[in-house]
Structure 1
């Protein structure tokens, strides 16, 4: 058996923690025996949840009663000290005791504490928050989703290289098609930064990805592009719009299918297709955003997800480490 991948887990971040986190670890462990979980948090709360569910050769608990709160500002979170579960988990990656770190805690604090502990990859100025989005043909990597409100052409060019490396580490046999999110597909559309980035990427002719020009918001889900790049402001608006639209569609469909006897009969006849539809739009299956640009990978699980969503983000961690993400980013640059 190959050496286990070591994941540092902040067990105290997010809603319903540590139960959600530990249940996620137990659920993930059922299908993957190649992970060692380094769990940071209150041992008195964690141990009863994991005892007798996972063999002790697969986990270790590092005790601390101090945790960063969801209501903390990023600075307040960082000031809580070096004995918080989030800080200790990140530090274990810094000291090479773990391969990757994951937290469902405060996003701003996670970015600040990560930047305080971890170095940037050489020649990268800003880290980006990236995530997987479903499309008609599979999955796309989208970045930046909110870490950087303003970006230069160099930043967006770096994000393209890093996003392509992330896609390639998750899907090793595929060459990524990269596009810039813009208000039109014509070369003259967009602001000066977007147009300058277009020229940089068009002239670059990278061996690690194909540059496909611009993509508009209504084509994000088409599946023709694997990596979609934008500044954090635009990316975050696109993310929240997509999440809201998915929730609207599922809730309206539920109303239509349960509103009267015709709808109920129709839903019974189409139960198999409805289950497939619901699963396709289940946000838990796409849980796990990645801060890339730092010299160690940091994964952010959605604070409001349940144990299934957390287990899926642990699977993303496993794929990132197996796919050698950091080395691929360095090669792309």
Structure 2
């Protein structure tokens, strides 16, 4: 059975072009998904004519309206009942799709998702999770900005949700989980973190293995599968990591363009540096997911291109094949 993805084709930069091209790139390698595309048919149809694979695997639902990047969540909800974002989420609620994806306004997507889909029973707040590269593969990090203020229960819930996501995508029965902190010792950190540490240690579960605290400089080690934090610290960590990757790439390029000798050395090492550049490419890790909702919603970065959108579609496929919602219910 093919899964169906509800696609907001109008959100983010260069849409709907990058959306259609991203879908086409996915379908070139895997045709196990169908797409329910929401957006302006007059803009979408001329593009799909150039990408017949998308045309044969998709149904277009027309709407002239979309949620703009500068709209507040309140404005988006008030005025966007016929927007491509709202309609995609409604299709998910009505079981016409198995997952929804948008590259549009993050805050609006979160608020609309909570209104239309609601949270799973027992979950107070959904968390925004994403995959981060490490020396040993990929780790799940959450929350990345959906919840600035968190309670002990929220951090415990995020641990269960993150472990379910990791198990669904990577098929590991008992992922390792840790809380992001300023030190690995039990005595360090805020009262919230210390109390959350004790609460997580009390949990007797076969769903994940709790490993205490982890410092930011050890996230990339790859020894922990799921790193849990509040949205404030998580978003800062995310932006810092993105900025550092861009800085390193720019610095390497600058150093090797300084002289003919350095250019010659670069040419000799081109394959190595190209491999490093590929590993640092943020498009490969594009796609966050709102965890804790009654159905899965994936958020693609608004500024990414079609390659980044392709990777977020691939994440949708991995989530569906891993039965994420079933894994979450087991953890809860």
Q: TM-score range by the shorter chain?
A: over 0.9
In structure 2, what is the equivalent of residue 106 of structure 1? 105
Rounded Cα–Cα distance in structure 1 between residues aligned with 2:50 and 2:274: 33
Q: CA deviation at 1:308?
A: 0.3
Find the aligned partners of 1:42 and 1:260 in 2 and give their Cα distance.
50
Name 1:26's counterpart in structure 2. 24
Contact 1:42 1:64 in 2 (8 A): yes
After superposition, the C-alpha distances for 1:144-172 in whole angstroms (9 at most, x for unaligned) are 00000010110000000000000001001
Aligned residues: 331
> What residue ranges of structure 2 are gaps of 5+ in the alignment?
none
Query: SS at the partner of 1:62?
Result: strand
Q: Which residue of 1 aligns with 2:322?
A: 323
* Residues 1-333 of structure 1 aligned to structure 2 (within 5 Å): 3-51=1-49, 53-55=51-53, 56-333=55-332
C-alpha separation in 2, matches of 1:270 and 1:205: 51
CA distance in 2, matches of 1:315, 1:168: 16
Q: Is the 8 A contact 1:26 1:50 kept in 2?
A: no
DSSP-derived class of the 1:67 partner = coil
Unaligned stretches of 5+ residues in structure 1? none
Q: Report the Cα offset of residue 57 of structure 1.
A: 3.8
User: 1:37-77 deviations in whole A, cap 9, x for unaligned?
Assistant: 11000011001111252344411000000000011111111
1:189-238 C-alpha deviation (Å, 9 max, x unpaired): 11111111101111113211110100001101000001000000000011
Deviations along 1:222-273, whole A, 9 cap, x unmatched? 0000100000000001101111111100000010111211210111000110
CA apart distance, 1:174:
4.7
Q: Distance in 2 between the 1:210 and 1:265 partners?
A: 49
Q: Is the 8 A contact 2:128 2:288 kept in 1?
A: yes
Deviation at 1:119, TM superposition (A): 2.0
CA distance in 1, matches of 2:285, 2:277: 13
TM-score (norm 2): 0.98
Structure 1 distance, partners of 2:239, 2:204, is 32
Structure 1 SS opposite 2:13: coil
2:296–2:325: 8 Å Cα contact kept in structure 1? yes
How far apart are the structure 1 equivalents of 2:263 and 2:56? Answer: 49
Distance 2:186 2:22 in 1: 46
Residues 98-139 of structure 1 show CA distances to partners (whole Å, capped at 9, x for unaligned) of 000000000000001111100211100000000000000000
1:53, 1:305 → 2: CA distance? 20
CA RMSD of aligned residues (A): 0.9
Query: 1: CA distance between counterparts of 2:244 and 2:329?
Result: 36
Q: 1:105 is paired with a residue of what secondary structure? A: coil
Task: Find the aligned partners of 1:94 and 1:167 in 2 and give their Cα distance.
Answer: 24
Indicate if the aligned counterparts of 2:85 and 2:102 stay in contact, CA closer than 8 A.
yes
